[in-house]
A and B are shown apart, each in its own frame.
Chain A
Amino acid sequence: GAGVSQSPSNKVTEKGKDVELRCDPISGHTALYWYRQRLGQGLEFLIYFQGNSAPDKSGLPSDRFSAERTGESVSTLTIQRTQQEDSAVYLCASSSRDRGGLYNSPLHFGNGTRLTVT
């Protein structure tokens, strides 16, 4: 498939454990975003990668959260010492940018990882 792929689709973990979430963006998409969505709530921006530029980490809620992306490929979001309030759907999205550098491509979202911390 040509869409954004996220794994795992569901993750149940015990409080205090570390989890790693994976996102495979659409091939050729230079921009990659992570969002969090709690039940019944809106999307909460976490982090944004654009090519080889320094990522915008301004949305990460605490130092327990980190994310990496190598070039324009796979990204991983790591949550250390998980807490119950981390329970949410974690959505990854990717998009491309035109030569003028203006945003003209819609975000393509993956199906998300549903994280439950018990």
Chain B
Amino acid sequence: RKEVEQDPGPFNVPEGATVAFNCTYSNSASQSFFWYRQDCRKEPKLLMSVYSSGNEDGRFTAQLNRASQYISLLIRDSKLSDSATYLCVVLEGRSQGNLIFGKGTKLSVKP
């Protein structure tokens, strides 16, 4: 299996800060990309899909750079409730079985 790499962090930021995470993937044939969020001792939940043109959902912006094989997640005006681990997920090829999870980046937002 190919690798998906993330900076493990932790990223410790104050409330209201803007924070960005990157994720690199090694398989240039990768098809789809996602960001999941995992709270402590909870299951992962989909945060957003990442589209080639980039996409935004409220305070969250995801970008894909196929040439450099990385995706990014930008969180603006961070809230205490954003504290979690953010998982980068890459789908290789059309088979859903080839979902590769990064180990996650831990974010801690402080008051």
Contact = CB atoms under 8 A, between A and B. Distances in A.
Interface of B: 1, 31-32, 34, 36, 42-46, 49, 87, 91, 94-97, 99-104
A113 to B, nearest CB: 11
B50 to A, nearest CB: 12
B54 to A, nearest CB: 18
Interface in A30-57: 31, 33, 35, 41-43, 45, 48, 50, 56
A109 B96 contact: no
B96 A97 contact: yes
B110 to A, nearest CB: 21
Interface residues of A, number: 23
A42 B99 contact: no
Contacts of A109: 43-45
Contact of B32 (A56, A97, A103): A103
A111 B43 contact: yes
Nearest to B42: A111
A44 to B, nearest CB: 8
Contact of A106 (B43, B46, B87, B103): B46
Given A103-B32, A109-B44, A95 B96 contact: yes
A101 B95 CA distance: 8
Contacts of B42: 111
A26 interface: no
Given A50-B96, A107-B99, 16 more contacts: A31-B96, A31-B97, A43-B44, A43-B101, A45-B101, A48-B97, A50-B95, A56-B97, A95-B96, A101-B94, A102-B94, A103-B91, A103-B96, A106-B46, A109-B45, A111-B42
B97 A106 contact: no
A91 B43 CA distance: 7
Nearest to B102: A42
Interface string A92-107: 0001010001110011
B87 A42 contact: yes
Contacts of A110: 43
Given A43-B87, A43-B101, A103-B91, A48 B96 contact: yes
A55 to B, nearest CB: 9
